[in-house]
Amino acid sequence: MWFGGGAFRASTSTGSGLITSATAFVRHFSRKRAENLRKINPKVSFPEANSIARDLYDVVKQHGPLTISNAWVQAKDSGLSGLNSKTHMKIMLKWMRGRKMLKLFPNQVGSTKKFLLCSLPEDPKVTEFRTSTAVKLTMSSESANENCLGYAARDPSGVLSEYKFSRRALGIDDISIKITHCGVCYADVIWARNKHGDSKYPLVPGHEIAGIVKEVGSNVHRFKVGDHIGVGTYVNSCRDCEYCNEGFEVHCAKGSVYTFNGVDADGTITKGGYSSHIVVHERYCFKIPDNYPLASAAPLLCAGITVYAPMKRHKMNQPGKSLGVIGLGGLGHMAVKFGKAFGLHVTVFSTSVSKKEEALSQLGADKFVVSSDQEQMMALVKSLDFLIDTASGDHPFDPYMALLKTGGTLVLVGFPSEVKFSPASLNLGMKTISGSLTGGTKDTQEMIDFCAAHEIHPMIEIIPIQYATEALERLVKKDVKYRFVIDIENSLK
């Protein structure tokens, strides 16, 4: 069969002897199929291919008739695993047609556009394999074994369990990273539990990745084996648009590829840092100084850069200026730390009075305000140069806009369900409100170096991978101070 990278052993009843590679085996039947194999090179065993065929049959049977393009969309939307690309799916469909599991028919007389339709009324038998040469295959141990161990969610319950899968082969511009630590972000909750309706299961979360370089491609020059390294919220982009050219890859005009639950250029679904290792293009990797703990580095790759990037962009690094931080969680506590390192006078706003002592004594904030106390809020009207809003729960904006001085700026990095404020809150005093995601590669590396130079460390709770499901639940309940970090190296075996 025309699947599998690595070596196959094949014995035939025609006396053709041993065929020792996948390409040689495929060429035995068709040069074109050999060319396709070299393009996609999926590491899929024959039993796995049969399973894919069954799942793909069910997709077409449920949604057909379908065009090839629509079949690919439906396969991805149905969470069908094992298909590496549309080309891979076309080869799979061709094999299924040969097995008379599917048929094609034109959408109209004389049209070259064809539709797929299931040709059998009952479920097909996909456990048999017959060819004129009666070929029997067994895969070599290298291609038969998945090369990565992780924890994945299988459905919207978000419950995580052990999952074995394959990472792509190392490319000339790639780095293979042994993951030692991975931060736990609320994004992990969102996609593990399918909150946006677009989760692709099995789903391996994690986009705050720290680890050690274990192998580099021939074109890689910034890293060497043994270096400490980080990976953040995206692992690919077009590398050619104005934003990529300026180092703002997260805002790529064609869309950046997220570190997990994203669709990469080759059609594969990305899988994140709750895993033993990852292969990433050098451009999207960051140097972590040897003297900076990897466990502390992990949360910087999302929580840290999410507040650092807009603070730098809006010049919230001017000593003596005043900063208000709304919300004291994973993002908020990093904003406080950066604010103090920049020499700002920092005020924390929270609905929870229980956080006052930590904000003042542990994080070094200059003032703490209970945001529901109108008297405390009124005392600060027109007193702040900047506000950074990290709260994702719904909250009023007018009371906070009133705290800004003339020309002041509020930056929103949280995701409340709506943003509502009076035009007067914006126009009177020529104030600015802005939004921000994470940051580009240039800002991210700058932030890591800044944290190492100023000994800025997030407050973390280190957990084993087996505790990850409970950690997600605690995160929903805001029961963490202030970031969970999974000890991948010592707990994922």
95 closest CA partner among 233, 224, 2, 203: 2
Quickly tell me which residue has 């796995």 as its tokens: 48
| Residue 341 burial (CB count, 10 A) | 16
What pLDDT is recorded for position 89? Answer: 76
Exposure string over 231-255, b if 16+ CB within 10 A, otherwise e: bbbbbbbbeeeebbeebbbbbbeee
> What is the greatest pairwise CA distance in the chain?
91
- Asked if omega into 482 is within 30° of 0 (cis), the reply is yes
In angstroms, the Cα distances linking 274 to 225, 318, 480 are 22, 38, 19
Question: How do strand 345-350 and strand 322-326 relate by DSSP bridges?
Answer: parallel
What pLDDT is recorded for position 46? Answer: 55
What pLDDT is recorded for position 41? Answer: 42
What pLDDT is recorded for position 38? Answer: 39
Per-residue pLDDT of the chain (493 residues; tens, 9 = 90+): 223 333 333 333 333 333 334 333 333 333 444 344 334 444 555 556 667 777 777 777 776 666 777 777 777 777 776 777 777 777 777 767 666 666 665 444 444 555 566 554 444 444 333 333 333 333 333 334 468 999 999 999 999 999 999 999 999 999 999 999 999 999 999 999 999 999 999 999 999 999 999 999 999 999 999 999 999 999 999 999 999 999 999 999 999 999 999 998 788 899 999 999 999 999 999 999 999 999 999 999 999 999 999 999 999 999 999 999 999 999 999 999 999 999 999 999 998 898 999 999 999 999 999 999 999 999 999 999 999 999 988 899 999 999 999 999 999 999 888 899 999 999 999 999 999 989 999 999 999 999 999 999 999 999 999 999 999 999 999 899 899 999 999 999 8
Its pTM stands at 0.70
Distance CA 12, CA 461 (A): 57
- Three-state DSSP at 127 gives coil
Phi-psi sector, 455: left (phi>0), alpha (psi -120 to 50), beta: left
Cβ partners under 8 Å of residue 88, min gap 6: 40, 42, 267
| Residue 197 burial (CB count, 10 A) | 7
Phi-psi sector, 44: left (phi>0), alpha (psi -120 to 50), beta: beta
User: Is 465 buried (19+), middle (13-18) or exposed (0-12) by CB count in 10 A?
Assistant: buried
Spacing of C-alpha 491 from chain mean position: 21
Give the helix/strand (H/E) hosting 165.
strand 160-165
Q: In this structure, what token pair is assigned to residue 16? A: 């053709």
